[in-house]
Amino acid sequence: MRVALTGLGSMVIDVDGDRLQARFIRENGQVDDRFAIVKSANPTGARPRITISEEGSAARLRWPTSRVRFNLEAATSPVGPWGKVTDEPVTVGRWHHLLRDPNEGNRLFRLREN
| pTM score | 0.59
DSSP the chain: ------S-EEEEEEEETTEEEEEEEETTS-EEEEEEEE--PPPTT--PPPEEEEETTEEEEEEE--SS-EEEEEESSTT---EE--SPPEEETTEEEEEE-GGG---EEEEEE-
Q: What's the pLDDT at 5? A: 63
Q: Which domain holds residue 65?
A: 51-113
Give the Cα separation of 49 and 51 in Å (integer).
7
Number of domains the chain is built from: 2
- State whether 106 and 59 are in the same domain: yes
- State whether 25 and 62 are in the same domain: no
Q: What's the pLDDT at 22? A: 95
pLDDT over 60 (residue 42): no
